[in-house]
Structure formats: C-alpha cells, structure tokens
Amino acid sequence: MLATLRWVIQRDVILAWRGRSGVLSTLFFFIIVVSLFPLSIGPEMDILRTIAPGVVWVAALLASMLSLDRMFSHDYLDGSLDQLMLTPQPLSIIVLGKIIAHWLVTGAPLILIAPIVGLQFDLPPGTLATLVGSLMLGTPALSLIGAVGAALTLGLRGGGVLVSLLILPLCIPVLIFGAGAVGAALSGSSAEPHLSLLGAVLVLALSFAPWATAAALRISTE
C-alpha cells in the first residue's frame, strides 16, 4: 500500500507540473488577493497588522478552492479513475495519495510564499512563524475536506461552484483557528491553543476524509 501511495503521489505531482498553469494560477491568485489590501488601505501599519490574519487565511482558503474541481475530474474524463478504482489496493489509499499530491502542488507553495506576503502587513518574525505553522496544519485539512466535496460533485455541470458551496461551511473552523493563531501571536498571547485545535481538525479530517471521499467516488461513478 505504501508503494501504491507513493506512486499515486508521484504521478499526480508530475501531471500537475506538466499542466503547471493551474498550479501557478492558484499561487498568483493568493498573492494578488493578499497584495490588494495593503494597496487599497494604504500605509496604515496598525490597520494592516490587525487585518493580516483574516486576509491571509481567507485568501488561502479561496485559493485552495480553485483547484478542487481538478482533483479527480481529469482522471474521470480520460477513464484513468475507473482503472484506479479496479486496482487491488483500497480506494482510500489512492484517494489519500491524490489528496497529498493536491496539497503538495497547491498548499505547499502558499506556505512558502506566506512569509513574503506577510511582510506587506508589517508582521514581526514571531508572527510570521506562527502564520507558517498555522498554514502547515490548516492547508492539509482544507485539501482533505475539499476532496469529499470534489468527489461528490464529480461529473456535474458547474461542479466547481457547487463544491465551494458544499465545502466552505465545513472549512470555517479551520479559518477561525488559523486566523486566531496568527491574531494571538500578533497580540502577544499564546497561539498554542489555536494550533492545537488546528491539529485536532487535521487529525479528524485525516481519519475520515479518505474513506468518505472513496465512498463518494463510488457513488459518483456509478
């Protein structure tokens, strides 16, 4: 199963890199949305520091939503998904590999660029570290939760909009705890409670999302 998991991750990362326009569009969307706020508000550093946690996390959430409909759709259209579902390995392992690959090409670049965009809001180094830590815990949870919606809307017309409507309410706890961690670090409080809750959400999503996604794929492909 580990070999299958590694193969699925490698396959999806290579395919995503070949069609890198989708990966770059997600990253550029995140950068543009975050950068528009300092340009529109002006050099009021106190205001920028106050809104920074919410702005960065909302931008990260919306950016992750952009690529959810592509998680399974390409394999569904060319018939690869049917072949993957016929393999002797559990479908949940294949799904987990695709989720990890999705995070590597969408969530990981956001984490790498977050400290740079955070400088636009005059965030201190300690707060930038908390921002990176919260994104490292939160963005995998967004991919796990989003995979369930992507599987449920597979093959539907307008599935990209529908998956956002289904998933956004479920992602609110991640948004609240992620922004709360950065806000707590910015105010001098401990961010550990918020990060612990983010970790709990990640563990919960990792425990249930692959199996729920596998069940949703079977329903959508029947």
Per-residue pLDDT band for 198 (boundaries 50, 70, 90) equals very high
Query: How far is 170 from 146, CA to CA, in rounded Å?
Result: 9
Tally Cβ neighbours within 10 Å of residue 3. Answer: 8
Q: Which of 166, 205, 157, 190 is nearest to 65 (CA)?
A: 166
Helices (H), the chain: 2-18, 20-41, 45-66, 73-78, 80-85, 91-102, 108-118, 125-152, 159-187, 192-221
* Percent above pLDDT 90 for the chain: 31
Q: Where are the domains of the chain?
A: 2-221
Between the alpha carbon of residue 85 and those of residues 2, 60, 72, 74, the distances in Å are 17, 31, 12, 15
Query: How far is 138 from 39, CA to CA, in rounded Å?
Result: 27
Look at residue 40 and tell me whether its pLDDT is greater than 80: yes
Q: What's the rounded mean pLDDT across residues 172-187? A: 91
Query: How far is 212 from 189, CA to CA, in rounded Å?
Result: 37
Query: How far is 46 from 34, CA to CA, in rounded Å?
Result: 16
Question: Which DSSP letter does residue 105 get?
Answer: I
> Mind listing the pLDDT tens digit for each residue in 75-131?
777 777 778 888 888 888 999 999 999 899 888 999 999 888 888 888 888 899 999
Helices (H), 119-158: 125-152
Look at residue 136 and tell me whether its pLDDT is greater than 90: yes
Q: Tell me the torsion sign for CA atoms 113, 124, 38, 140.
A: positive
